[in-house]
Amino acid sequence: MQEYAIYSVIPPEGCAAILWRDAKKKVEAATALKLTAPDLLERGIVDEIVREPIGGSHADYDEAAALLDSSLHLALQAASTPDVDARLARRYKKFREMGREGADFTDSDGI
């Protein structure tokens, strides 16, 4: 994920409108949603934070593409390991753990 990008299923304004009936509380909502690259890396949602050019990716498309290209190259090499079963097990575990923050239960796989 690029360092200045955000990822969320709802915009902070929408979240604030639902939770507090006040879209102006978007800053509080954004903090609660934990939608920044460092937040998502810490929670295991993304695997890596890709550096962006000074001023953001929109300021220098060529540099942004080069930074993303090198990161994708390494990720694709790692994903192309010959041990398919291990790769699938890691992916399964990662996606099963998403959204379990604060949950106190396990499924039949013990995850």
Q: Is residue 63 part of a domain?
A: yes
On whether residue 77 sits in a domain, the answer given is yes
The total of structural domains in the chain comes to 1
Residue 56 within a domain: yes
pLDDT tens digits for range 26-43: 999 999 999 999 999 998
Give me the count of residues in the chain: 111
**In terms of residue numbers, what domain contains 57?**
12-97
Report yes or no on 87 lying in a domain: yes
Full pLDDT tens readout for the chain, 111 residues: 999 999 999 999 999 999 999 999 999 999 999 999 999 999 889 999 999 999 999 999 999 999 999 999 998 988 887 788 888 888 898 888 886 765 555 555 555
- Would you say residue 4 lies in a domain? no
> Considering the domain boundaries, does residue 3 fall inside one?
no
21 falls within a domain: yes
Supply the pTM of this predicted model.
0.76
Going by C-beta distance under 8 Å and a sequence separation of 6 or more, which residues neighbour residue 95?
none
Alpha-carbon 7 to chain mean position: 6
The per-residue pLDDT for 69 is 96
Q: Is residue 71 part of a domain?
A: yes
pLDDT of residue 15: 95
Q: Exposure string (b/e) for 91-103, b if CB count within 10 Å is 16 or more? A: eeeeeeeeeeeee
Please give the pLDDT value at position 63. 96
